[in-house]
Amino acid sequence: MSSKFEVTETLDVKGQSCPMPVVKTKGAIDELAEGEVLEVLATDSGSVSDIAGWADGTDGVELLDQREEADLYKHYVRKTA
């Protein structure tokens, strides 16, 4: 996973549970241009596996990083196409 990237947009899905973090991430990524990075802030612990799985199974996105801070899960996804 690369460590140097600039966040273009931040999506806040705190307090929301499956399937919202993935579905809203997809919606937010669609609004970005190629190369831009989306930061997703979630409290759903299932979002770690779900967003990784979604990024793996979806063309045109790349998971850059996932961080856990206290009860907050931060995901970084780049739009690649």
Partner 1 sequence: MSTDTAGSTDTPDVETLRTRVAELEETVAALETDPDGPKRMTIVATKGSLDMAYPPLILASTAAAFDWDVVVFHTFWGLDILHEEKSKELKLSAVGNPSMSVPNAVAALPGMDAMATRMMRKKIDENGTATVEELIELSLDQGVELQACQMTIELMEYDEEDFYDGVTTGVGAATALNHMADADVQLLV
- What are the catalytic residues? 18
In single-letter form, the type of residue at position 50 comes to D
- In the list 15, 34, 70, 71, the residue contacting partner 1 (rule: CB under 8 A) is 15
Binding status of residue 16 toward partner 1 by CB under 8 A? yes
CA distance 34 to 26: 14
Please check whether residue 48 is in contact with residue 68, taking contact to mean a CB–CB distance below 8 angstroms.
yes
- In the list 7, 19, 31, 72, the residue contacting partner 1 (rule: CB under 8 A) is 19
Strand-pair category, 61-69 with 37-42? unpaired
Give the residues lining the site for partner 1 (CB under 8 A): 15-20, 22-23, 25-27, 43-44, 54, 57-59
